[in-house]
Amino acid sequence: MVISRDDFSSCFPDIAGNTDDGELDALLNALALRRLPAGENLLNDGDLTSSLYLVWTGMLVAYLEDENVSVELGKIHPGQSVGEISLFQPGPATATVKALTDCSLLMLPKEIFTALAREHPALTSKLLRMHAKMIIDRLNAADELLLGAEAMQARPGGMKKLFARIYYKLLGYEEDAA
Amino acid sequence: MNLSEFLHTAPEFSGMSVGDIASLEKAMMVRDYPDGHVFFSEGGSPDALYLIIDGEVAVSHLKGEERGYVVIKRMHAGEFFGLMALIDHTRRHASCKAVGKVRVASLPSTAFALLYESNSRLSNRFQLIIARQLARDFRSLVTVLRQNIFALDDEPINTMAYQGPERRSGSDRRAHVDRRKG
């Protein structure tokens, strides 16, 4: 990878702040740069996925798809990530994610993460703890919103909007477009 | 089934070596609990992590004075409960009670902290097991939410207890919005 520690740290301060220089170098070496042209899908809702993607440049959109219905969840920006859960628990993608502009992403497949765990257990320990805390924070945030759910029942379309908002929050994104 | 046998055969622990399992086993204490035993109550201080070896544990959440405690999840063999408060260093988010006779292994919070906060290979594998359990919780909530998003057409919220997608019958597969915390 040709990304410097400093550039990475300014885009992903949480990861950089939790790792020392050696660990960060090991992570940067493990990440692969993937370019995604505007209009292409990074993930398709429901497809099996097992990689983490860190958004480096560009903007993507996440939406849910059913047979004939599509529900937009919101935009994904540099510094955010996609597929964190799949990294250690491969499973169906929880949304379709499509590039709105030309994007570059830093990809960490599960197999590489497993190899990192063998060579740099301290690094993967830190990443696992970060992710566990992140999931808990998201579950708590979703719970807070669910507590307010009953107040939304009287509003037309309120519940659907609320669930979409909770879903988006669970994926870890900001609320601006949800 | 004893703890050793359980840890060696449960798929959740398949990534652990014989040595890892022996270390984990030493730190855990197994007990049988009667029906109705309360492991902990919402708002209490977390003192241990629990692993179900056999039986069922109901997780409930206080939903206000009028509704009281509502069961939001039922947990089974191979699942940890009491996890979130230990990682988050907060008070218990929910209450957990035995449903029928249960066999549970507990890991005291001090042992949990030693194992979870360390960066050793054993810790790494333990953290992965914990992360996977949280990921399953996450995916279960995602499943529930998406069912609601696609099914709802201004319907009122359904507050039936959510019991996990893998254990629900076809007729129960929609509009469960409550969820679980340990």
A125, A139, A149 ranked by CB distance to B124: nearest: A125
Any A CB within 8 A of B38 CB: no
Site from B42, B157, B159, B174 to mutate, A interface, most A CB atoms within 10 angstroms: B157
Say what percent of chain B tops pLDDT 70.
81
B91 interfaces chain A, CB cutoff of 8 Å = no
Quick: pLDDT tens for A33-69.
Answer: 999 999 999 999 889 999 999 999 999 999 887 777 7
Mean pLDDT of A19-35: 95
Considering the entire predicted model, what is its pTM?
0.81
pLDDT at B138 over 80: yes
The alpha carbons of chain A give a radius of gyration, in whole angstroms, of: 17
Residue A80 to residues A4, A135, A141, A158, B136, Cα–Cα distance (Å): 18, 14, 17, 27, 22
Contact criterion met (CB < 8 Å) for A89 and B132: yes
Identify the burial level of A4 via C-beta atoms within 10 angstroms of its C-beta, where 0-12 means exposed, 13-18 middle and 19 or more buried: exposed
Of A64, A128, A140, the CB nearest to B149: A64
Interface ipTM: 0.84
| A38 DSSP 8-state letter | T
Does the CB of B158 have a partner CB in chain A at under 8 Å?
Answer: no
Q: Average pLDDT over chain A, rounded to whole?
A: 87
pLDDT in tens, B67-83: 777 888 899 999 999 99
| Nearest residue of A to residue B152, measured between CA atoms | A160
Q: Does A129 touch chain B (CB under 8 A)?
A: yes
By C-alpha distance, the chain A residue nearest B145 is: A163
